[in-house]
Structures are given as structure tokens and as C-alpha cells.
């Protein structure tokens, strides 16, 4: 049996890095942090919860649905609200509030579904963890395998996508210089939509992972948001691979520091766990706001 602390760390790292890569992707397109990013996590998690509870099937079978729904939600948010607000010359602050508003809209919708399904099927829809639905490979929990594979696959695929495919290069061009990219015949809006879809589906995937290990509520994603912010800021907020690494660091700190504190006998300190991402975030912003990690990957480096 593997020490739960290790699983915990890996799962936290997986969720944090998937989500922060998504957040950074959308930040690069609109230059506005998406405060509704947590909602993609919540939605992805609830797809898994309802699959297990209502359809009585393993959430692993519908992992694509978590990602797809998260992606569609993100595209809807971008198309229906953000790109329209931008066309109306809304200030960055107003755009930020719009994303916060969307987060509350999705919270309301998710709460209605949770309430409706709990009445209709007589199931619990709050504080549900799906650990019992997980499988084990040689006494390693599936969620750990999932986390390891998704994070490493994400790193490789993102690298290949952004550096080796025409689509990825077009996306990077649209992000770096939208006007120039447009002149070259790239449909910038389509590229941004694609970036939002990727962002949302990574969030949905992170949510599915979340549900397999941690109890899910309608505010799960929103509660995870400070961790995601800390990860992205650690990576410099505009650096995709930086935020991936930032997610790994913050995720590890989030689970290893309380664990170490408990091992050393400072059990009381666990209550102050929510401070960890904030301390990391504040330290970075005060000392090196451009992000501590400036990994140079590929010919163009920055992404």
C-alpha cells in the first residue's frame, strides 16, 4: 500500500498544474485572469459524480465528457460574454467582474442540478468523494496513475503542439501579436476560441481528478482558485510551461508542508493550511513578479 501522502501530493500537483496551465492559456488571450476558472473544475468533478451516482458507471469511462463539458463551457463564456465585452471596449476590471459573475452563474446552475438530482434519484450530491470507484494497479490508486500520465502527456503534447504544429504556431502568433497574425491570414478569434476550449477541458479534466480523491461540493473549484492563481503567478502568469511547473511546486507544497508539520508534531499548524498558496504567491510577487520559473524550452522559449 502506498503512503496516502504520496498520492495526495501527486493528485494535488496534477490538479494544480492542469488548472494553472488552463488559466494561463486564457490569460494570454484576453490579458484578464479568468475568475470563473474554478467553475470548470467544479463542472468536471460533477460530471464524474453524476456518472458514478446515477449511471453507476466508472468516471474513467466518461473522462472525455468532463473535458468536453469544461471546454464547451469555456468557449461559451468567451464567445457569449468576454469577446462581446471586449468589442464594447470594456475595461479589464469590468472583464474581470464579468468572469466573476459567470462563476456565480455556474455556481447557481450547478446547485440547481445538485438539488434536483438529489431529490429525483435520492442520492447525496454534496461532499462526495469517489474513491470507492477508483481502481488499483499493483496497489497504486488509479487517480495517481491518472495524475502522472496526464501531467507528463500534457507537457509533451503541449510542447509538440505549440512548437511543431502549424495550428500551435498560429495560436502562439495570435497570442504574441494579434494584429500581425491577422495580417498573415490567421483567424485570431478562432485561435482564441481554441485556447479557451483547451483551457476549459484541462479544467474539466482536473475536476474529474479532484472528484476521485477529494470530496466534491458546488464550491470545490472556487475554493481551489487561490491555489491555481498561486501556481500561475509562480510561473509568471504568461508562461505556459512556467505555470505547469508552478502547479507542481504549489501542489507539492500544499500537501507536503502540512504532512511534514504533522510528522514533526505541529498538528495545530494544519489548520493554517490555506495560508500556504498565499505565502508562495506573496513571496513571488514581492521578490520576482515576473515569475520564478523562466524555463527556456524550444526555439522561441517563452511558451
Where does this chain bind other proteins (CB under 8 A)?
27, 31-33, 35, 81, 84-85, 88, 90, 92-94, 96-98, 100-102, 104-105, 107-109, 111-112, 115-116, 119-120, 222-223, 225-226, 229-230, 233, 237, 271-272, 274-275, 277-278, 281-282, 285-286, 289
- Decide whether 201 or 227 has the Cβ nearer to other proteins: 227
**Which H or E run contains 141?**
strand 140-141
CB 30 within 8 A of CB 86: yes
Classified as helix, coil or strand, 297 is strand
CB of 221 to other proteins, least distance (A): 12
Q: Which is nearer to other proteins, 40 or 133 (CB)?
A: 40
Question: Closest Cα to residue 9, out of 247, 264, 266?
Answer: 247
Min separation Cβ 272 and other proteins, Å: 6
CA 42 to chain centre: 10
Which lies closer to other proteins via its Cβ, residue 8 or residue 125? 125
Work out how close the CB of 167 gets to other proteins at its nearest, in angstroms, rounded to a whole number: 27
Least distance from other proteins to the Cβ atom of residue 195, Å: 17
The helix/strand/coil state of 140 is strand
Quote the least distance from Cβ 41 to other proteins, whole Å: 15
CB closer to other proteins, 188 vs 230:
230
Adjacent-strand bridge partners of 136: 141
At residue 201, φ and ψ (nearest 5 deg) are -70, -35
Provide CB contacts within 8 A for 176, sequence distance 6+. Answer: none
274 phi/psi in degrees, rounded to 5: -60, -15
DSSP-assigned letters across all residues of 57-84: --GGGGHHHHHHHHHHHHHHIIIIIIHH
Nearer to other proteins, 102 or 195 (CB): 102
Q: CA 77 to CA 11: how far, in whole Å?
A: 27
CA distance readout (Å), 179 to 27, 29, 149, 264, 300: 18, 13, 37, 56, 19
Q: How far is the CB of 109 from other proteins (least distance, A)?
A: 7
Strand partners for 137:
140
Q: Are 44 and 69 in contact (CB under 8 A)?
A: yes
Nearer to other proteins, 109 or 129 (CB): 109
* Alpha carbons 14 and 38: distance in angstroms, whole number: 15
Shorter beta-carbon distance to other proteins: residue 144 or 228: 228
Residue 102 CB, shortest distance to other proteins, in Å, is 7
Give the nearest distance from C-beta 284 to other proteins in angstroms. 8
- Of 97 and 129, CB closest to other proteins: 97
Amino acid at each position: 500500500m502506498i503512503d496516502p501522502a504520496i498520492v495526495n501530493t501527486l493528485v494535488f500537483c496534477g490538479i494544480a498544474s492542469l488548472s494553472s496551465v488552463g488559466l494561463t492559456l486564457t490569460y494570454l488571450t484576453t490579458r484578464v485572469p479568468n475568475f470563473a476558472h474554478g467553475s470548470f473544475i467544479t463542472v468536471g468533478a460533477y460530471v464524474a459524480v453524476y456518472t458514478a451516482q446515477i449511471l453507476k458507471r466508472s468516471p474513467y469511462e466518461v473522462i472525455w465528457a468532463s473535458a468536453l463539458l469544461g471546454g464547451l463551457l469555456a468557449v461559451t463564456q468567451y464567445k457569449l460574454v468576454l469577446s462581446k465585452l471586449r468589442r464594447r471596449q470594456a475595461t479589464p476590471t469590468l472583464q474581470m467582474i464579468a468572469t466573476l459573475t459567470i462563476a456565480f452563474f455556474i455556481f447557481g446552475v450547478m446547485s440547481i442540478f445538485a438539488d434536483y438530482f438529489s431529490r429525483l434519484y435520492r442520492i447525496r450530491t454534496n461532499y462526495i468523494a469517489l474513491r470507492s470507484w477508483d481502481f488499483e494497479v499493483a496497489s497504486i490508486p488509479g487517480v495517481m496513475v491518472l495524475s502522472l500520465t496526464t501531467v507528463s502527456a500534457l507537457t509533451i503534447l503541449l510542447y509538440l503542439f505549440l512548437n511543431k504544429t502549424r495550428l500551435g504556431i498560429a495560436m502562439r502568433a495570435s497570442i504574441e501579436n494579434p494584429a500581425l497574425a491577422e495580417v498573415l491570414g490567421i483567424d485570431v478569434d478562432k485561435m482564441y476560441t481554441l485556447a479557451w476550449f483547451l483551457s476549459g477541458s484541462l479544467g474539466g479534466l482536473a475536476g474529474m481528478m479532484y472528484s476521485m480523491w477529494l470530496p466534491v461540493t458546488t464550491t470545490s473549484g472556487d475554493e481551489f482558485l487561490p491555489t491555481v492563481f498561486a501556481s500561475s503567478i509562480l510561473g509568471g502568469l504568461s508562461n505556459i510551461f512556467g505555470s505547469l511547473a508552478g502547479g507542481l511546486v504549489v501542489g507539492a507544497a500544499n500537501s507536503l508542508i502540512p504532512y511534514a508539520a504533522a510528522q514533526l508534531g505541529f498538528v495545530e499548524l494544519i489548520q493554517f493550511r490555506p495560508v500556504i498558496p498565499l505565502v508562495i504567491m506573496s513571496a513571488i510577487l514581492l521578490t520576482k513578479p515576473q515569475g520564478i520559473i523562466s524555463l527556456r524550452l524550444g526555439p522561441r522559449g517563452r511558451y
